[in-house]
Amino acid sequence: MVSSGSVAADRPRRWVVGWTGASGAVYGVKLCKELLAAGIEVHLVVSDAGWRVLKEELGWDAARRKEALAEGLGLDESSALKFYPFGDIGAAIASGSFLCEGMVVVPCSMGTLSAIAHGSADNLLTRSADVALKEGRPLLLVPRETPLHAIHLENMLKLARLGVRIVPAMPAFYHGPQTLEDAVDFVVGKVLDGMNVPHRLFRRWGETHDNI
């Protein structure tokens, strides 16, 4: 069930997830589905531009946000997803006292990446990322932009030097993808690897198809 506000304290694993206005909304949706299926509590915040992309790329009704999330993610009353408004800077995930394993932003726009790199925390998404940095928790960013200019690259280098894991949305082909879903699964699988979440989304190098 989609809800907002405080969260249960009895979950063994919880991650903060951000969706932004970069192309590739499907990556964020697939990641959340995988995390929920693995029994991991997801605390989700979506930027206004992110909702625009969800509408344009996936046909989600951005005017009915909670309903769109429930339908798009296949949520029910037992689903461990908590949704927070983008402007709710006083939400639980804006505080370092909120315990979680870390945060991932997927897809991550260059604007959001720049804000995080420069400590700008004027909305819940960038504030949550700032919290991850100050608390020394894992922070993963999945940028989706091409081509990249020097400012993009400098911002990514700055964050990488701070320990942020940069996981560009770059599908591979050694595993023999046959569909668009296969390509998406590879990128999401690499993100899950960085989060230390087991998965079987793609065939790893050296594995046979029977190993999947």
For position 6, what pLDDT does the model report?
Answer: 40
Q: Is there a binding annotation on residue 112?
A: yes
- Strand 14-19 to 41-46 pairing: parallel
Percent of all residues in the chain with a pLDDT value above 90, rounded to a whole number: 86
Q: Is there a binding annotation on residue 23?
A: yes
49 within a domain of the structure (yes/no)? yes
Q: Inform me whether the pLDDT recorded for 101 exceeds 90.
A: yes
43 within a domain of the structure (yes/no)? yes
The pTM (predicted TM-score) of the whole model is 0.91
pLDDT band at 10 (very low <50, low <70, confident <90, very high): low
73 within a domain of the structure (yes/no)? yes
Bridge partners of 45? Answer: 18, 84
pLDDT per position as a tens digit, 48-75: 999 999 999 999 999 999 999 999 999 9
74 within a domain of the structure (yes/no)? yes
∠ CA 193-29-172, nearest 5°, is 45
Q: Is there a binding annotation on residue 3?
A: no
Percent of all residues in the chain with a pLDDT value above 70, rounded to a whole number: 92
63 within a domain of the structure (yes/no)? yes
138 within a domain of the structure (yes/no)? yes
Q: Is there a binding annotation on residue 190?
A: yes
For position 171, what pLDDT does the model report?
Answer: 94
2 within a domain of the structure (yes/no)? no
Q: Residue 21 maps to which CATH number?
A: 3.40.50.1950
The parent domain of residue 126 ranges over 14-196
Average pLDDT of the chain, as a whole number: 93
Contacts 24+ apart (CB under 8 A), 202-211: 202/172, 202/175, 202/177, 203/175, 203/176, 204/175, 205/174, 205/175
Burial of 45 (0-12, 13-18, 19+ CB in 10 A): buried
- CA distances to 30, 66, 70, 78, 135 from 74, rounded to whole Å, are 11, 12, 6, 11, 32
pLDDT band at 5 (very low <50, low <70, confident <90, very high): very low
C-alpha to C-alpha distance for 25 and 52, rounded to whole angstroms: 10
The answer to whether 28 and 109 are in contact (CB under 8 A) is no
Q: Is there a binding annotation on residue 97?
A: no
> In 10 A of CB 89, how many CB atoms?
15
The answer to whether 47 and 84 are in contact (CB under 8 A) is no
For position 207, what pLDDT does the model report?
Answer: 78
For position 211, what pLDDT does the model report?
Answer: 54
pLDDT band at 149 (very low <50, low <70, confident <90, very high): very high
Give how many domains the chain has, as a whole number. 1
pLDDT per position as a tens digit, 174-204: 888 999 999 999 999 999 999 999 999 998 9
Q: Is there a binding annotation on residue 110?
A: yes
Tokens 């700008």 found at = 120
C-alpha to C-alpha distance for 35 and 134, rounded to whole angstroms: 24
Q: Is there a binding annotation on residue 179?
A: no
